A and B are shown apart, each in its own frame.
Chain A
Amino acid sequence: MTPFELTEWPCPASGGGTRDELALTFDRRRDRRLVVLPAWFDEANKLRRQTVEVMRQLDGSGIDSVLPDFPGTNESRAKLEDQTLDGWRAAAAAAAGHFRATHVLTIRAGSLLAPQGLPGWRYAPIGGRQVMRAMLRARTIAAKEAGAAERTEDLQAAARREGIDLAGWRLGAEMFAALESAEPDTALSEIEQASLGGPGLWLRAEPGDDAAQAGALAAAVAGGIGAA
């Protein structure tokens, strides 16, 4: 079993130039190379182990894969608050180019960043509005629990002006507003959760993993790349 490696890659910086970010890679310089655009925020934590397991199984099928950190996420030292949807899209395209990806696999909201023209798959995609809805709801529930009622509409209006703290993630105003209307990429082939033989792990209250589901997802990708 090939261990994964952590590699730095030059990510476009908002003020011009680049800034190094990390990527988790299974890279043996093979011809078939997949860039993986992970789930976001709370779902990123719940799905990271599962995402790496899918990559490990793809490695066993002869496919290289790379999971880049985006600015403000995971090990990045950039502030999440400063990031924008367009900035993350540029980062996804740059990562695909730097690692010479031949295909892309997006997971959940990762589909919002799919680079144009790169073939591949979108696993259980969701739009920006759905991402925000769950996080806004978590915030209103926590506020109510603490005895301070907050209304979703008020939070949305304030977030469009000055950004917002949602479940521990500080989003800038530009990112929040862009996500309210961002829709998943439709050019990619969809892999539905129902086809993997179990419930989505993002639903779980605690992070988990499921080898059978990871195998089914890896098989769908490997079969598709083989046929492509």
Chain B
Amino acid sequence: MTDGHKLAPSRGAIDAKLRAILSDVLGLDADRVADFDSETGLFGHLPELDSMAVAGLLTEMEDRLDIVIDDDDVDGEMLETYGGLLAFAEGKAASA
């Protein structure tokens, strides 16, 4: 079907990009970030991830995932775990 709708980016591609962004923000090597699972804690669990670092993280997600993140999108649930952040990014990319 070629109705002009573009396909949403694959889940795997978003996962890879999100891990790369976290690697850059947290200064961790790729192996460490590859070990993150859906339960890995982020905001509130990693002391270096303060509000300024989270702001940078979200801005970088907007640039690299080509999404727009509104004030209302940001809540504790999306930021608490890697799984929450990934689900948020996938939802945004699908509706972009």
Measured CB to CB, the residues of A under 8 A from B are: 42, 130, 133-135, 137-142, 144-145, 151-152, 167, 199-200, 202-206, 208
Contacts and interface: CB of A to CB of B under 8 A. Distances in A.
A142 B51 contact: yes
B56 A203 contact: yes
B29 to A, nearest CB: 12
A151 B72 CA distance: 9
B74 A205 contact: no
Contacts, number: 58
B60 A203 contact: yes
Interface string B24-60: 1111000000000000000000101111111110111
A145 B24 contact: no
A145 B79 CA distance: 11
Nearest to B62: A133
16 contacts: A135-B55, A137-B59, A138-B51, A138-B52, A138-B54, A140-B71, A141-B54, A142-B51, A145-B76, A151-B71, A199-B24, A203-B24, A203-B25, A204-B25, A205-B27, A208-B27
Contact of B25 (A139, A142, A205): A205
Given A135-B55, A203-B60, A141 B24 contact: no
A208 B53 CA distance: 14
B3 interface: no
Interface in B39-96: 46, 48-56, 58-60, 71, 74-76
| Chain A CB within 10 A, most for which of B46, B49, B52, B60 | B52
| Chain A CB within 10 A, most for which of B26, B51, B59, B60 | B51
Given A144-B74, A151-B71, A199-B24, A205 B48 contact: yes
B74 A140 contact: yes
Contacts of B25: 203-205
A141 B55 CA distance: 8
A167 B51 CA distance: 8
Contacts of B58: 137
A141 B51 contact: yes
A137 B54 CA distance: 9
Contacts of A144: 74-76
A54 B55 CA distance: 27
B76 to A, nearest CB: 8
A177 B48 CA distance: 31
Contacts of A205: 25-27, 46, 48-50, 53, 56
A158 B52 CA distance: 21
| Chain B CB within 10 A, most for which of A145, A199, A204, A205 | A205
A133 B51 CA distance: 13
B51 A134 contact: no
A159 to B, nearest CB: 15
